[in-house]
Amino acid sequence: MTKAEIDVLAERLRQKEVEGWTSAHDDWLRAGELATAASRYATNAAARLGISPPCLSFGANWPWDDCWWKPTTPRRDLVKSAALILAEIERMDRQ
């Protein structure tokens, strides 16, 4: 596995073990919420890499309370994004 793959899986595990975002919790979310959050982190990373001015606030497309919007570096935001996409796929597979 690459470092990127390891980091994404480690972030998914951290989301479950540290943040408490279990499969049961994810199943309670509306379809697309996890994907929306993932896209927000990916968009923020792209902006910080020079595509457009960074948007460091949670914004209109953030699906949850603003306290959960925690942008950092572009790479870290992409890792979070990939882990959230994984969570959305897992939620879909359980449906």
How does the average pLDDT of the chain come out, rounded?
Answer: 88
Give me the pLDDT at residue 50, please: 82
% of the chain surpassing 70 pLDDT: 91
List the chain domain ranges: 3-94
Give me the pLDDT at residue 48, please: 84
Structure confidence by residue, pLDDT tens digits, 51-81: 766 555 556 678 888 888 899 999 999 999 9
Q: How far is CA 40 from the centre of its chain?
A: 8
Give me the pLDDT at residue 62, please: 85
Nearest to 69 by CA among 37, 42, 47: 37
In angstroms, the CA 11 to CA 59 distance is 23
Between 92 and 50, name the one with better pLDDT. 92
